[in-house]
Amino acid sequence: VTDLKISPGILAADPTRLGEEIAQIATEADWVHVDVVDNHFVPNLSFGLPVVRALCATSPLPVDCHLNIDDPDRWAAQYAQAGAGVVTIHAEAARAPVRTMRAVRAAGARAGLALCPATPLEPYEGVLAEADVLLLTIGPGFSGQSFLDFVLPKIRRAREVIDATGADVLLQVDGGITTETIVACAAAGVDIVVAGSAVFGEPDRAHAIRRMRAAAQAGQAAADVLQETIA
Ligand code: ZN
């Protein structure tokens, strides 16, 4: 059973008190997920570079920056330079994803490639030898949507590809993750889950994260038993 990371998404937090919101998750969460949404790639607007820079300067957790934006080739490295621990760009928006992710790593951050639910994994399988992958389990840009089950086979396939290459890359899922849906994600072998409303919609954020972690461990244990049965 591997340690699954939890990255609460602050798109679901109170935007007037982001610092306090992050302080409330600091002891239980692994990363804090920041959705940069530009009103072009998707029709919503959230945070930009100055807010991310301020969060990076004060957050006790690594800032996991998901760029739901057009033209990420132009912007991604600047988010790494601003102090983000992870910068993830969208395959649907990038013109030169490999070059851009190399620039992100050169600036000192982990680089990730995000795929929308309807985007197939196959054209990008080669990239998984050198970049993290984020599989969206909802449409991008808005918090509070329901998990799309049809992405689960893509999650399992990504796990197989990553294991086959043996690369030091992480598999992240983002969207509609709850104490119920995290079970199937953990069983499918994800390394990191983003949880928005399931954490910031609860009065006790730390308790909500502990419940999610317990549910994930149950999912991993069930998958391990199944593996042994097959073997
Ligand atoms: Zn996200």
Residues 6+ apart with CB under 8 A from 228: none
CA distance 42 to 114: 14
Residue 2, SS3? coil
pLDDT at 35 over 50: yes
Taking a C-beta distance cutoff of 8 angstroms, is the pair 215, 182 a contact? yes
Q: What angle do CA 66, 162, 137 make, to 5 degrees?
A: 40
Give how far Cα 209 sits from Cα of 193, 195, 216, Å. 11, 9, 10
**How far does residue 230's CA lie from ligand 1's centre (Å)?**
35
Span from the CA of 212 to the centroid of ligand 1 (angstroms):
18
Distance (angstroms) between ligand 1 centre and the Cα of 229 equals 35
d(CA 1, CA 92): 33
Neighbours of 149 (CB within 10 A): 11
pLDDT category, 23, cuts 50, 70, 90? very high
Summarize the confidence of residues 64-73 as an average pLDDT.
Answer: 98
The dihedral over CA atoms of 49, 54, 59, 62, expressed in degrees to the nearest 10, equals 30
Is the pLDDT at 224 greater than 70, yes or no? yes
Ligand 1 centroid–CA 139 distance in Å is 10
> Phi and psi dihedrals of 33, rounded to 5?
-95, 125
Active-site residues, by number, are 35, 174
Q: How many angstroms separate the alpha carbon of residue 25 from the centre of ligand 1?
A: 17
| Ligand 1 centroid, distance to 221 Cα (angstroms) | 27
Q: What is the mean pLDDT of the chain?
A: 95
CA of 7 to the centre of ligand 1 (A): 10
Whether the pLDDT of residue 1 is over 60: the answer is: no
Condensed to tens digits (0 to 9), the pLDDT of residues 144-177 reads 899 999 999 999 999 999 999 999 999 999 999 9
Confidence (pLDDT) at 219: 86
Ligand 1 mean position to 163 CA, how many Å?
A: 24
The pocket of ion ligand 1, defined by CB under 5 A, consists of 35, 66, 174
Q: Write the pLDDT tens digit of every residue in 93-106.
A: 999 999 999 999 99
Give the tokens for residue 206: 């730390």
DSSP-derived secondary structure for 75-121: HHHHHHHTT-SEEEEETTT-SSHHHHHHHHHHTTSEEEEEE-TTS-S
| Sheet strands (E) in the chain | 5-8, 32-37, 63-68, 86-90, 110-115, 132-136, 171-174, 192-195
Q: What is the pTM of this model?
A: 0.95
